[in-house]
Amino acid sequence: MVEQFNTALEKYIQKRIIVAKMELDYELAVLFDALEIGDQEQVQRSKAKLAELREELLVLEK
């Protein structure tokens, strides 16, 4: 039972890492666009989202 749980957890973590990296790529594109047009509010939102994703990836990839 514990093995099944650990296996399922590992699969979830691997999938979440993939999704988080895709979100990271998307948010970097959003940040780039915001910087190009000078949208400082979006720049700050993107930076905050990128920081959250970074923290999540650090935890997941341990």
pLDDT value for 55: 98
Decide: 26 and 14 in contact? Cβ < 8 Å: no
**Residue recorded with tokens 């990128």:** 50
Sequential pLDDT tens for the chain (62 residues) = 889 989 999 999 999 999 999 999 999 999 999 999 999 999 999 999 999 999 999 999 98
Output the pTM of the full model: 0.87
pLDDT value for 62: 85
* Mean of all residue pLDDT scores within the chain: 97
Structure tokens at 23: 């979100």
Number of domains in the chain: 1
**Residue recorded with tokens 């047009």:** 37
What domain range includes position 40?
2-60
